[in-house]
Every structure is written in structure tokens, then in C-alpha cells.
Structure 1
Amino acid sequence: MIEVSNVQKAFDGNPVLKGINCTFETGKCNLLLGGSGTGKSVLLQCIVGLMKPDIGSITFDGTVYTNNKVGIRQEIRRKIGMLFQGSALFDSMTVAENVAFPLQMLTPEMSAEERRDRVEFCLKRVGLENAGTKMPAEVSGGMKKRVGIARAIAPQCTYLFCDEPNSGLDPATSIKIDNLIHEITHEYNITTVIVTHDMNSVIEIGEHIIFLYEGQKLWDGTKDEILNVEVPELKEFIFSSSLVRAAKRVDDEGGLAAITDEQGANI
């Protein structure tokens, strides 16, 4: 579990995070939801230690991370896996070498054979057991995301952070990536935090959702609760999608009627 307490952050006197209090639950996909410029990525960077909050504290499973001793912060960082928005693979390394990179950096006690076994296991877990010798330029966008997930979990992370994991992917591939993250979260009992503005991800895997608006947390709940919210800013955000509006109508009717767009055509 990760606990965020009164986290505030400003740039050049302009407040970006205005006293955020929230909890990210273990064994669940925790979604940080909101539009562009609402503070999602800044909060993520504060949590993982890439940025220091001006005020407030962040606690990982009872251990305070903010302003703690260097050794304690480093120990927590070793338990963090990160899936970057653009995958951030090294172009000059093969897929297998990319996955092995954090093992070389964080687990020097592992033998070369143990690292190879771990890389093979992680690639197989994400369905890329035959892609280890390929270069990043030789694989698709969805495969790159899966390589990024394999690299993130290679050091057996306790906390997994995903920054817009569906960015640049087609809808079908996005769902596959969402489901893979969800499966891994439950399989390894990881505390997973996903920054997103994608309502498809909310409906698919939103077990715990935190909605940010103008640097403040306005709501938290589950995917089953979000369609019935009474927070005006959140209602405006989620019902900007015709698909979500249609899903709401079907939910209200309690049936399996065809979901239609605003013109009444099947989608």
C-alpha cells in the first residue's frame, strides 16, 4: 500500500498539486484519472522520487519515503517497476538485453545464468518468448509495451507504475495491455498505479480510481461506482465519451440493449 498525505507541489509559484491525500491499494489496479494538466504525472513523479514534494509525505507499506535516509529510499526504489509512456527501450539493445538491464543494475548478486532465466521467464509471461533476439525497431508498438512490462517486473517489483500505458495503441491492443497489467497485478499482488485519461481503461480495469482536477483529488471509487457519480467535474469528464454515455444508458435500463451512438447507429 502506498499512502500520500497532503502532497503539495508548485512551479515558479504556480500550484500544481494542492494537498493531495490518497491511498493506492495493494493487489489492485489503482488509476490516476484526469484530463491533461491536472497534476497526474507530477504526482506520479513525486511518488517514485523523480520529483520532491514541497510539502507532504509519501509512505510505502508503512515506511516513510519522503525525506528519509538515502539507504531507505534506495531500498524502496529497488522495489519499483516503471512502464514509461513511450516504452523507453534502448534502441541499441535487443529485447532480451532491455529486460536484463534493470537486473544488471539492481541485482548484482545474480549470476549470468540466473539473469538469463529471469529474462526468459518475464518474456514468456508477457507472451514474447520468441522475441528476445529482436531489436526494438523490429517489433510493434504493442510488443514494445509488453517488453516494457517485462522489464518493469524483471527485478520482482512490489510497486508497478504505468504512465499512459495505452498511448499510441489501437483499441484492441490497448485492451490486451490493460488485461496484462491487471493479470500481473493480481498474480504477484503488486501495488499498481496507472496514470491515464482513457475511459476504456477505467471500465476494463478500474478497481480503484482517483480523479484529479486542477491539482486536487475530487473523487475516488471503483469502476462500478463511477457511472453514478454526482461530482460535476467528473461527470463532465467521463460523459464526454459517447460510448460511456451509451454504457450508462444500458446500465440504467438493466438490460443488454445494443449500445448506440448519439445518432442511434450501432457502434
Structure 2
Amino acid sequence: MIEIKDIAKAFNGKEVLKGISGTFKQGEINIVIGGSGTGKSVLLKCIIGLIKPDAGRVLYDGRDFYHSDAEMKQAIRREMGVLFQGGALFDSQTVLQNVRFPLDMLTNMSEAEKHERAEFCLERVGLAGTNDRMPSEISGGMKKRVGIARAIVMNPKYLFCDEPNSGLDPLTAVKIDELIKEITDEYEITTLIITHDMNSVMEIGQNVLFLHQGLKLWEGDNTSIAHSEVPEMNEFIFANKLLRDAAQ
């Protein structure tokens, strides 16, 4: 479980996050939604330690990340798996090398152990037999799968996904959603997804936070969204639907 308490962040005097609090439960798909510029990505970076918030706390199963010593922070980081927007693969490395990269950097496993673990993760995401292919030789959806394999190779307790369906066709996006849900259920991971895709929210979102202009205006499960009385969220959902209809 991850708890965020009163997270605030400003850049050059402009408030981007204004006291965001929430709880992301273990074994569930937690989703943060909102339009562009609402602070979603900044919040994610504050949670995983890429940006230090100006105020607030981030608790990983009760461990206060920003009030921990270097050893504890490193231990928490090793329990994180991150799927970056676009996959963020190394173009000069093979699929297998990309997946085993965290093992090379953060473990003392033998070469055989790292190879076996990376192969297992590739098989888990449906990419068996792609070890020697380069990122330029695979599709966008396959790159996302490689990114997921790399994110889970360290057996994380916490999985973070930044716009996992960005740039994907609707069918591939559904498959990526299903894969993230399967992995969350199978390994009882605390999963946090940053997205603007309402299809993902309605299909797999179990706990949803809506951000608007740096504020959390709504929180609930995906079955409650239709009954929201928050005008800003209703407008966001309506605009999202118009975009989906136009793309079809």
C-alpha cells in the first residue's frame, strides 16, 4: 500500500500540486486521471522520488520515503517497477538486455540467473523468442510489453505506469490493460497508473483519483464515476468520449 499525504509542488512560484492526498491499495489498479497540465506526471515523479515535493509525505507500507535514510530509500526503490511513457527502451540493446538491465544494475545474481529471470518475464508478457530482437524491430505494443517485463523483473511490490496506452491502437491498448491487471492480481502488486484514457479507467480502474489544476477533486471506484457531481470531471469524461468517437 502507498499513502500520499498533502503532497505539494511548485515550479518558479507556480503551484502544480496543491496538497494531494490518497491511498493506493495493494493488489488493486489505482488510476490517476485528469487533463494535460493537471499535475498527474509531477505527482508520479514525486511518488517515485524523481522530484522532491515541497511538502507532504509518501509512505510505502508505512515507510516514509522522504524521511528515510539513504539505505531505506534504496531498499524502497528496489521494490519499484516503472513502465515509462513510450517504453523508454535502450535502442542499442536487445530485448533481453533491456529486460535484464535492472538486474545488472541492482543485483548480484549470476549471468545464468539473470538470463533465466529475464526470459521468464518475457514469456510472462507473451514475448517468448524475442530475446535477440532490437527495439527498432518490434511494434509499439511489443515495446510496451518489453517495458512491462523490465518493470517486473525485480519482483516489485509497487508498479508504476505512465500513460501505458499512449500511441497504441485501441485493440493493443486493451491487451496492455489486461496484462497489467493480470500481473497486479497474480503478484498482489500495488499498481498506480497515470492516464487520460477513460477506456482503461472503466475496464480496470478499481480506485480512481481525478486531478484538476493541481487539486484532487474526486476519488472513488470506476462504477461511481457516472454518478459524479463534479462538473470538471464530467467535462473531462465527456471530452474524452468525443475524442474516442472521433477516432473510430
- Shared fold (TM-score, shorter chain, > 0.5): yes
After superposition, the Cα gap between the structure-2 partners of 1:242 and 1:87, relative to the gap in structure 1 and judged at 3 Å, is: closer
Q: How far apart in 1 are the matches of 2:34 and 2:99?
A: 31
Q: Per-residue deviation at 1:243?
A: 7.0
Q: Per-residue deviation at 1:67?
A: 3.0
Q: Report 1:205-224 matches (<5 A).
A: 205-224=204-223
8 Å contact 1:166–1:174 — kept in the other structure?
yes
**Residue 83 (structure 1) aligns with:** 83
Q: How far apart in 2 are the matches of 1:241 and 1:148?
A: 26
Per-residue CA deviation, residues 21-79 of structure 1 (Å, 9 max, x unaligned), is 11111101100100000000000000000000101110000111013211110100000
2:92 counterpart SS class = coil
8 Å contact 1:209–1:221 — kept in the other structure?
yes
Q: Per-residue deviation at 1:228?
A: 1.2
8 Å contact 1:238–1:244 — kept in the other structure?
no
Q: How far apart in 1 are the matches of 2:240 and 2:198?
A: 8
One-letter amino acid matched to 2:150: R
Q: How far apart in 1 are the matches of 2:51 and 2:184?
A: 25
**Residue 178 (structure 2) aligns with:** 179
**Residue 110 (structure 2) aligns with:** 111
**Residue 153 (structure 2) aligns with:** 154
- Under a length normalisation based on structure 2, what TM-score does the superposition of the two structures give? 0.97
Q: Per-residue deviation at 1:155?
A: 0.6
Q: How far apart in 2 are the matches of 1:103 and 1:68?
A: 24
Of all paired residues, the percent bearing the same amino acid is 60
**Residue 66 (structure 2) aligns with:** 66
1:240 counterpart SS class = helix
Per-residue CA deviation, residues 196-218 of structure 1 (Å, 9 max, x unaligned), is 00111111111110100110111
CA-based RMSD:
1.5
Q: Report 1:186-265 matches (<5 A).
A: 186-242=185-241
8 Å contact 1:178–1:201 — kept in the other structure?
yes
1:192 counterpart SS class = strand
Per-residue CA deviation, residues 150-190 of structure 1 (Å, 9 max, x unaligned), is 00000111101000000100000000001100100010000
Q: How far apart in 1 are the matches of 2:175 and 2:84?
A: 17
8 Å contact 2:197–2:240 — kept in the other structure?
no
8 Å contact 1:33–1:197 — kept in the other structure?
yes
After superposition, the Cα gap between the structure-2 partners of 1:218 and 1:125, relative to the gap in structure 1 and judged at 3 Å, is: same
One-letter amino acid matched to 1:34: G
Q: Report 1:13-162 matches (<5 A).
A: 13-108=13-108, 110-162=109-161
Q: How far apart in 1 are the matches of 2:214 and 2:193?
A: 17
Q: Per-residue deviation at 1:114?
A: 1.0
Q: Per-residue deviation at 1:242?
A: 4.0
**Residue 169 (structure 2) aligns with:** 170
Q: How far apart in 1 are the matches of 2:219 and 2:117?
A: 36
- Under a length normalisation based on structure 1, what TM-score does the superposition of the two structures give? 0.90
Q: How far apart in 2 are the matches of 1:45 and 1:243?
A: 29
Q: How far apart in 1 are the matches of 2:223 and 2:206?
A: 8
Q: How far apart in 2 are the matches of 1:152 and 1:242?
A: 30
One-letter amino acid matched to 2:124: R
1:239 counterpart SS class = helix
- Matched residue pairs, number? 247
Q: Per-residue deviation at 1:244?
A: 10
1:8 counterpart SS class = strand
Q: Per-residue deviation at 1:120?
A: 1.1
Q: How far apart in 1 are the matches of 2:50 and 2:241?
A: 37
Name which one, 1 or 2, has greater alpha-carbon Rg: 1
